[in-house]
Structure 1
Amino acid sequence: MAESGHLYTHVNFTARSSKEGSKEQLFFAELYNCGKRRAPGGFLVTCCEPLGSDSTVGHKEFQVDGASAVRKNIDIAWWFACSPGTLHPRGDN
């Protein structure tokens, strides 16, 4: 997605601790597409946090003006240029 002339990518992934018996945790990460001159892989991580049961699904090309509204874990007050299945943390993070 493009914002203020910069490109960002949102991804979900699972990870777990190396401790025995640990469980997988779902995470959200936002990556800044900076190019290989700034970072070897071409991306810088701008946000990474675990997701809970209150995570939201972004809608591609969908925006609502006015007060925040949430229905069935879909945050319709925020616009996400992501696939409908990409989970996001709730709020401004």
Structure 2
Amino acid sequence: MSADKPRWRIAADSETVERDLSRLVLTLIELIRQLVERQCVRRMEEGNLTDEQIETLGVTLMRLEEAMEDLCDRFDLTPEDLNLDLGPLGTLLPSN
């Protein structure tokens, strides 16, 4: 490499790799969960869902949220840990 280009290295500490990878995966799952939840609310508000479908989606979304909380607890992560800072773009997940 030339002297004017910085070398990018990954600091792979064996004790933090699992937690960091878990954080990344859970962040992506949380992003998708929030997108699906917004889509469900939009469809419900438009009247595109039956009462049975609304009930099923509500229960499913609650279970998914509980599973996310359990996984965060398992890896000692908070919801704030999942909200990655994208620099000038702000954070990945919307603030509640």
Report the TM-score, using the length of structure 1 for normalisation: 0.26
Report the TM-score, using the length of structure 2 for normalisation: 0.26
More strand by share: 1
